[in-house]
Chains A and B, each alone.
Chain A
């Protein structure tokens, strides 16, 4: 009985102490900085912050890596109550909504050591700042600019009597190669010739690539939804046919994990898939690394090649107390493209990024550079998140439930129209 009599007051005491304890505020200027979470990125960020704090002893950076799934929950809660971070790393898909709401600050060229905005724009590869610009004003610089390429397993190619030096260049070739690469046992696919990502919030990317290459759009110039155009039907039908006709791919194999197809490739269960530069960082530890070859993304029209890319941008809160300092910090982060490439496998398209020894050592740098010159972000809109959600259901309806592509696209158009109207 005795120990319990003591236990209760102790517990109360702990509770009171905890409630009474206040965190000590720092006297220095503090900047808060939030990013999504990717361990190699977090590591390098911490290193760069330590450096910045050393160079600016009166500044303290409070850095938080927020799990990607919850990033916008935290971000919006904070922004709506005036406690948003000073600097943050924002997905290109959401920038339109933030620009539209006027909560971010235009870049300060002086903080980067430039005399004018023109000079700043000239320092990046043309076209790579467009995603974070509105009416000619730049609001952010890219922290990762992800272009896509095809990754193939050379050993599987040789096994199937194909020459890895002659990879598929068009989607028709991908389909015929994939049929040769696919291995079936007892009516079951045990190795997929090619597969897509089956990640709910990534469907738009794979679909976007196919749509762009079919010269179609999700939204037209007036912002009207045209997803169910003939181009859309053709794009979706190709995906559909690879699953149901060619039987080289299949959503059932997926874990709906952002890297599932990559893990399957790494284990030798997939022969070809679309990857981004950061994928190589993950594949380097895998058993198939020696047979991994990166080749240009297949095209529909070889004369007019085009690829879809996505990225993240550093942006600054309009309400930050010291805008110049915030942009100075961004400039610090953006000044080491070679480290970002080497340690995190992120491309930062600041001019000259390809001239460093680190870039020259990066696997298949020529392919990535070439793909970058063909890349575009596709159709972005403040309502992009809802469009992506409609695309998720559309792809699942068609690819998982076997509904005809045309019908799935018509449904998606209805949903997107409703979302744009609300």
Chain B
């Protein structure tokens, strides 16, 4: 902040040039993201089935959501999926990135292999895992030496969320690995070499040099993980249809159902607005972390 106060006047011209760099993206955002979002907020105050003209409803869509146990269940399912998938994913991704950040022979092969699941479309991935998790499918076959009974992965309220998280980890690890990898490439090697000369152990190296330098990347990774966890839809739709008994009926799924299956667009919009506010609050709470640019 002190830097800002001392900023000399001649920098203003550069500031304006800096702003211009953002303009193309901002224009596109304003048109294709901000405008539709504002429309969504507006529609959330209406009764709207998309076939008849909307009818004003005030805050009715919101008040009915607060007392809806199904919406509450959906919020819970979303949190379970997000934490259950992305906490292990981020830890694994960082570990893998550290392992892959070498010039060992054949490392390109490993990088490509680990990235393969990311490349595949979620629909296909979900179908593959649906087959893998089937009652007498390959996973239960692999587990048969240790389990006396096969597990009903997708039709048991306890196991279905676990199954989805396993699939989610498999699908997403490569994504965050690549991002960490690109971050690791950016760390000047002499930093670590200097530390090594000073006798730092590999653990100390990680703890005091690598991780702090990766902080901007970690900010990115956790934020993106939270958002993609909240937005997942295809996996649940294909693998469990939100079941059993709503155990995997995540928010995106209930939003889509409410809008396009139940034809209650206003209600779906209200759900989105609430979700948006929740995420925004979390983001603002991390604002300092997010906006800090003095690394």
Contact = CB atoms under 8 A, between A and B. Distances in A.
A165 interface: no
Given A103-B51, A256-B241, A389-B262, A400 B155 contact: yes
B152 interface: yes
| Residue among B130, B149, B244, B246 having the largest count of chain A Cβ atoms under 10 Å | B244
Contacts of A201: 241
B244 A253 contact: no
A107 B70 CA distance: 40
A386 B262 contact: yes
B260 interface: yes
Contacts of B134: 255
Nearest to B70: A415
A135 interface: no
Chain B at the A interface: SS class: loop
B244 A401 contact: yes
B64 A422 contact: yes
Interface residues of B, number: 38
B155 A198 contact: yes
B241 A97 contact: no
A237 B277 CA distance: 43
A422 B264 contact: yes
B135 interface: yes
Nearest to A80: B50
B51 A98 contact: yes
A79 B267 contact: no
Q: Which of B239, B262, B264: most chain A Cβ within 10 A? A: B262
B68 interface: yes
B246 A401 contact: no
Q: What is the interface of chain A mostly: helix, strand, loop, or mixed?
A: helix
Given A98-B51, A252-B152, A255-B131, A400 B260 contact: no
Contact of A400 (B49, B150, B156): B156
A323 B136 CA distance: 53
Contacts of B50: 76-77, 79-80
Interface in A56-78: 69, 72-73, 76-77
A418 B72 CA distance: 15
A397 B247 CA distance: 10
B230 interface: no
Interface string B139-179: 00000000001101011110000000000000000000000
A101 interface: yes
A91 to B, nearest CB: 11
B157 A401 contact: yes
11 contacts: A98-B51, A187-B149, A255-B130, A383-B262, A392-B242, A396-B246, A400-B244, A401-B244, A415-B70, A418-B68, A419-B262
Given A77-B50, A257-B130, A422-B64, 4 more contacts: A256-B240, A385-B257, A393-B245, A400-B156
